[in-house]
């Protein structure tokens, strides 16, 4: 059946049919991807966060669906659709990470090493944190690589010593993955000879790369704003 997306009735019918399709795929055909889509549907369309949380949890526990584990962990971290529970959030970030979700590895790692207000009751575990952050970085999560570089640039007193060679390697990878701040750090490291042989030419090259990326981000934001204005 063809839908006319300019007609409100057709849009409503299309959306309702999506829900029916996802429920059938999840509960009758037992497809993990359909269950995850159902969770997204309950969250984004129905705004029923409590039911969405139950679907994400079940799909994580029963099918080890990486993104469902990540979503349920987020719900616990934020107290969305259920009572905030940091230990439960961490547990499900670990499950998501084990299942192959890099964002889960990142968030689990951050919970081990960060000083966020919601995390103050958790004992720091820097070894586990670095293990998880490294797993996310190995999976090409740019922010994770950048975060690790920051750890080695500053060091952590009595725990992790400064290591500018490692900081450079992680910054370089984060830059290659598109993190503008990492590119700026690489530029400075080349200029100062921190963690790498001093090279003014390379420093200028990465400075230009950071500025170009910054400009691209600005242009993309403007395009998205204009598109939103045109649709309003």
* CA–CA dist 128, 94 (Å, integer): 11
Residues 86, 159 share a domain: no
Q: Look at residue 186 in the predicted model and tell me its pLDDT.
A: 98
Residues 45, 31 share a domain: yes
State the CB neighbour count (10 A cutoff) for residue 125: 15
Higher confidence at residue 121 or residue 153? 153
pTM: 0.86
Tell me, yes or no, whether 100 lies in a domain: yes
Which of 207-212's residues contact partners 24+ apart within 8 Å by CB, and which partners? 209/175, 209/183, 210/175, 210/180, 210/181, 210/183, 210/184
The predicted-structure confidence for 43-67, as pLDDT tens digits, reads as follows 999 999 999 999 999 999 999 999 9
Query: For the chain, how far is it from start to end, CA to CA, in angstroms?
Result: 28
Q: Look at residue 114 in the predicted model and tell me its pLDDT.
A: 87
The predicted-structure confidence for 174-231, as pLDDT tens digits, reads as follows 999 999 999 999 999 999 999 999 999 999 999 999 999 999 887 776 655 444 444 4
Residues 184, 146 share a domain: yes
CA angle, 31 then 34 then 35, to 5°: 90
Q: Look at residue 18 in the predicted model and tell me its pLDDT.
A: 84
- Which residues touch 115 (CB under 8 Å, ≥6 apart)? none
> Could you tell me the residue range of the domain that residue 120 belongs to?
13-139
Residues 158, 100 share a domain: no
Q: Look at residue 230 in the predicted model and tell me its pLDDT.
A: 46
Residues 114, 155 share a domain: no
Here the CATH number for the domain that contains residue 73 is 1.25.40.10
């Amino acid at each position: 059946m063809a839908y006319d997306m300019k007609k409100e009735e057709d849009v409503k019918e299309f959306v309702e049919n999506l829900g029916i399709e996802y429920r059938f795929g999840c509960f009758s055909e037992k497809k993990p991807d359909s269950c995850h889509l159902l969770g997204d549907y309950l969250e984004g369309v129905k705004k029923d966060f409590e039911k969405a949380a139950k679907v994400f949890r079940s799909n994580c526990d029963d099918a080890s669906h990486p993104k469902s584990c990540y979503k349920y962990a987020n719900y616990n971290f934020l107290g969305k659709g259920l009572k905030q529970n940091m230990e439960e959030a961490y547990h499900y970030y670990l499950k998501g990470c084990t299942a192959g979700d890099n964002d889960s590895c990142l968030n689990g790692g951050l919970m081990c090493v960060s000083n966020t207000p919601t995390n103050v009751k958790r004992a720091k575990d820097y070894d586990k944190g670095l293990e998880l952050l490294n797993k996310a970085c190995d999976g090409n999560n740019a922010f994770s690589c950048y975060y690790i570089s920051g750890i080695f640039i500053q060091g952590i007193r009595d725990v992790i010593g400064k290591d500018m060679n490692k900081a450079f390697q992680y910054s370089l990878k984060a830059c290659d993955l598109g993190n503008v701040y990492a590119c700026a750090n690489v530029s400075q490291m080349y200029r100062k000879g921190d963690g790498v042989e001093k090279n003014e030419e390379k420093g200028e090259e990465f400075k230009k790369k950071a500025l170009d990326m910054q400009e691209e981000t600005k242009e993309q934001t403007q395009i998205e704003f204009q598109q939103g204005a045109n649709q309003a």
